Structure 1
Amino acid sequence: MKLIKISILLLILTCTSCQNNTSKSISDASKDEIKYAVGLSIRVEDDYTVVTVKNPWPNAKELFKYVLYKKEIVVPDSLKKYTQIQVPVKNLVATSTTHIPSIEMLNQENKLIGFPNLDYISSTKIRTLIDQKKIKELGNNQSLNTELLLELQPSVIIGYGLNNNNPTLENLKRNGLKVVFNGDWNEQTPLGKAEWIKLFGALFDQQKEANQIFEHIKNEYQKTLELVKKSKNKPTILAGSTFEGKWYLPQGESWGAQFLSNAGGNYLWKKTKGTGSISLSFEEVYEKAKEADFWIGPGQFTSLYELAITNSHFTQFKAFKTKNIYSFSTKKGKTGGVIYYELAPNRPDLVLKDLVKILHPELLPNYQLYFFEQLK
């Protein structure tokens, strides 16, 4: 079971003469392109862009800066200490399924040449390229196939880390490959995660297209938030499920809990602090949530029967009796990857609409669930 967590990047000035090259850096007049992602900054000026990734993993101390420049442009001396990448990049390697939708939405899937654990990818377009042997299998994130990567010589590797111990990526950098950290998984808001498409827009020199895509997602999300205000009913919600004897639920400040609140639900653990998960006993959960109206995201379970035979006590929840249990684990790609894990961070508008449809179906009468499905 793979939880893809994911969180987190400034701008630059062009120069037209060698004299200016040594004195100019980032213009004070330039504006940050990023509004919601706290770990990403993108500052654009003429032919230069400076991308800053602030928090690619929790409590990261270092800022990671990347200077993106166009062909025949000379990078100012003041910026040469940072990783320099010519854009648009010719090709790239991605390392998380959450990177895939951004690449696809920008119609750049043909530039993806390598990925670890290809079976996790659900995208139909990307799977076609995999079947055509156009994307190489790179092993796993902890031990990427260095030899193959050096042979491929990608323009850039989009990497992520759970902490500052990334020996494989550091080794690739020592061998001359360009690594850009992506901290989308470490963002804690729905729109913050989705805004990381702008990183790929900068790398593909498609800032305009990336901005337009994000604006559409943001506008749809905000329109749905306004729609929710029409409903005064706030059904109670249980979430998560048991794993190895403990019940895991999202903490009240987490990405998942924010969706439940924004969709007009009363998540029973909304007041808990933190952005991760809570570990509770079955008895604690049952006592508080036995009368919950809905059960959202019951872990790996994909049917009522499976829940019942795993633990007969599951059948005592009101949500089980009324069949108000909805899961995203039933919808998978060709090779078993859960579509939600890949696409949901990039499309919070669809997640929110799904939850509104579940909790307040009268608000979206013609909408069909995209990620979630009612268990039968």
Structure 2
Amino acid sequence: MKSITEKIRYILPAALLAVLLCCCTGKPKVDNSEIFNREVYKPEYASGFRILGCDGMKSIMIEVSDPWEGADSVRFSLLVVADGEDVPAGYEGQVLRGNAGRIVAMSSTNVAMLVALGKASDIAGVSGKRFISAPEVRARLDSIADVGYEGQVDYEALIACHPDIVLLYGVEGANSMEGKLKELGIPYMYVGDYLEESPLGKAEWIVALAAITSNVDEGKRVYRDIPARYNALRDSVAALGLAPVKVLMNAPYADSWLLPPAGSYGERLIADAGGEILTGGKKTSGVIPVTREETYAIAREADIWLNPGNVHCLAELERLAPGFASTRCVQRGGVFNNNLRSTPGGGNDYFESGVMHPDVILSDLTKILHPDRFHGELVYYHKLR
């Protein structure tokens, strides 16, 4: 049997090691969802965010999941701290104290959401002023900074904005602005609306933006009627029981044609409007590449051609896609593009306010695909002549 002295010889180093480990690692790491475990808002259509609360606190946490293409189990958190409250011990993530009154939006879709919330005057900076379509923002462009683009950010202009928060997006990885914003002490939040496949899911991100500018209830109020209008129109199309209208999508890019896959944003809009995107029988989980020759065969079957690049007339289309003028959809006047509301600087409101108005886009598509059943002026689309 070991003596008391020998036992102490073994116990003391172990105890000392435990103390050192605690000193080195600091406080035990706590999952943010353990602190904020009360559901404030669970999206019905969006998959990329949720809003959580904590009992006894008015502060809320916006949790964004997989905020860029290819992300796997990536979580981002922004804590919106209510007046008079502190950041809970153990919280790890970005912190915004109070509502944001000065915002830098790196995507025009975020501009549209802020406009819909009545917060156009809170936009202090954008990425690419000439592309912005919203009249409420264009009217005050002189007082809004253009902070550049990822990889070429004008940080002097950004700092001069005195932003409360910067709204970011990721493409194939974390946004390169992250490090500098942390260094500057400027809070940021990822907005992943572009990753949503559901048209209603894209629009639902307005609730997340409302959580940083006013309150969640305001976002819910603005969003509430959008699904109702969209789903009512979708159901009315389905009730007609019509055969799907065959649709050719997009335009050539380099030597191939990229078609939207099943379940994607574009495919869902077309399907809900009573159409079917032709892919020549190809099915993949991602964008479907086809050759020009394959596309020409598809085009011969199509009734309607939609979104053929950034062209505004048939003459431009012929230069972009030589030889397609003889296809049935062109000969029958069935070519429509979504760039009716373009800005002089090259912006397209379809990709800006259209995100907040999927019901209006769906209405346009029903009038194009079923002109004998649905009537009225087009908002985002126009017929190429």
> Are the aligned partners of 1:295 and 1:325 in contact in 2 as well (CA < 8 Å)?
yes
Partner of 2:134: 123
Within 1, Cα distance between the matches of 2:65 and 2:281? 28
Distance 2:36 2:128 in 1: 41
In 1, Cα distance between equivalents of 2:64 and 2:275: 33
For 2:16, the equivalent position in structure 1 comes to none
Q: Is structure 2 residue 347 aligned with structure 1 residue 337? A: yes
Which secondary structure state, in structure 1, belongs to the residue aligned with residue 305 of structure 2? Answer: strand
Taking structure 1 as the reference length, the TM-score comes to 0.87
Distance 2:106 2:181 in 1: 14
Q: Distance in 2 between matches of 1:115 and 1:186?
A: 20
Query: Quick check: 1:255–1:275 contact (8 Å CA) kept in 2?
Result: no
Q: Which of structures 1 and 2 has the bigger CA Rg? A: 2
The corresponding residue for 1:20 is none
Structure 2 gaps of 5+ residues are 1-32
CA RMSD of aligned residues (A): 2.1
1:188 maps onto 2:191 in alignment: no
Say which structure is richer in helix: 2
1:143 corresponds, among 129, 133, 152, to 152
User: Which residue of structure 1 aligns with residue 77 of structure 2?
Assistant: 65
Q: Report which stretch shifted further, 192-201 or 39-48.
A: 39-48
Distance 1:309 1:31 in 2: 53
Q: How far apart are 1:87 and its partner, in Å?
A: 2.5
Output the CA distance in 2 between the equivalents of 1:197 and 1:283.
42
Match of 2:264 in 1: 254
Shift of 1:219: 0.7
Distance 1:243 1:164, change over 3 A: closer
The answer to whether the 8 Å contact 1:143/1:168 transfers is no
Change in CA separation of 1:312 and 1:156 when aligned onto 2, cut-off 3 Å? closer
- Higher mean C-alpha displacement, 182-191 vs 44-53: 44-53
* 1:158-190 deviation per Cα after TM superposition (whole angstroms, max 9, x unaligned): 011113253333212122111111111111111
CA contact (8 A) 1:251 1:270 kept: no
**2:244 is matched with which residue?**
234
Amino acid at match of 2:39: S
Secondary structure of the residue aligned to 2:177 is helix
Assess if the C-alpha contact under 8 Å between 2:45 and 2:201 holds in 1: yes
Q: Secondary structure at the match of 2:70?
A: coil
TM-score (normalizing by structure 2) = 0.85
In the alignment, does 2:316 pair up with 1:306?
A: yes
Map of 1:323 onto structure 2: 333
CA distance in 1, matches of 2:201, 2:145: 30
The secondary structure found in structure 2 opposite 1:361 is coil
Deviation for aligned residue 1:271: 6.5
User: 1:297: how far off?
Assistant: 1.0
**What is the SS of the residue equivalent to 1:113?**
strand
Other-structure match for 2:87: 75
Separation (CA, whole Å) in 2 of partners of 1:100 and 1:276: 28
* Count of matched residue positions in the alignment of Structure 1 and Structure 2: 350
Aligned equivalents of 1:330, 1:30: Cα separation in 2 = 41
| 2:175 aligns with one of 163, 166, 179 | 166
Q: Does the CA-based 8 Å contact 2:48-2:65 persist in structure 1?
A: yes
Other-structure match for 2:50: 41
Structure 1 residues 288 and 338: CA distance shift in structure 2, 3 A: same
Q: Which residue of 2 aligns with 1:280?
A: 290
Equivalent position to 1:134, from 129, 136, 143: 143
Cα drift, residue 291 of structure 1? 2.5
Change (3 A) 1:155 1:309: closer
Match of 1:5 in 2: none
Deviations 1:222-245, CA, capped at 9 Å, x for gaps: 011111123223211111111223
